[in-house]
A and B are shown apart, each in its own frame.
Chain A
């Protein structure tokens, strides 16, 4: 079964750093892209960026470029989303999803990681 399992919920203070993870299983991790999506409380989905673990090729939405870093460790089939200095406005649910380059599909999705940033 193809599965993406994300790390658990996080509660952080403004200014702290954070790295959340997304572990793939049941498929060749280096043959598919992994995308990250933000959903702020009560709001819609926002596409953040995408990485190809095979060669670490990474693309960012202009809205998130410079605000987050997407990376991957193919040796452990895990992608990451990290912040160097969190803001209260980073409070959101973050999802990862597998993406095939020759189609428009993001499937499957991870269960989501809730990040809460509060002083």
Chain B
């Protein structure tokens, strides 16, 4: 099972929007509505930001949103803030197992 493909890095100024893509196949991202996104700050454990493609856990700001089209899922951060600078990983169900994305570093300029 290959890792899902994410851009290595994206950047934006405070207040701008950035979108991170997560490309898989019809056996994972495209086959199920079971994509989640995790934020990881340096030296910290990952934190759930989005699950089931577009659902937001309680406590996660509504500037974080998720979507999916075909074999590609996306995480959008609107109104970028300094504390959003972190690594982001997507994760998809792939039929009895899960696979993570390659990870994207978000830089706030």
A-side residues, CB < 8 A to B, are: 35, 37, 44-47, 49-50, 59-63, 95, 97, 103-112
How many A-B residue pairs lie within 8 Å, measured between CB atoms? Answer: 74
Assuming the contacts A103-B52, A105-B51, asked whether A47 and B99 have C-beta atoms less than 8 A apart, the reply is yes
Kindly report which residue of chain A lies nearest to residue B98, judged by CB atoms: A47
Kindly report which residue of chain B lies nearest to residue A109, judged by CB atoms: B45
Kindly report which residue of chain A lies nearest to residue B46, judged by CB atoms: A109
How many positions in chain B have a CB within 8 Å of any CB in the partner chain? 31
Kindly report which residue of chain A lies nearest to residue B34, judged by CB atoms: A104
B102 is an interface residue with CB less than 8 A from chain A: yes
Q: Is the CB of B57 within 8 A of A45?
A: no
Most buried by A among B36, B87, B97, B100: B97
Residues from chain A with a CB closer than 8 A to the CB of B51 are: 103-105, 107
Residues from chain B with a CB closer than 8 A to the CB of A44 are: 3, 87, 89, 100-103
B96 is an interface residue with CB less than 8 A from chain A: yes
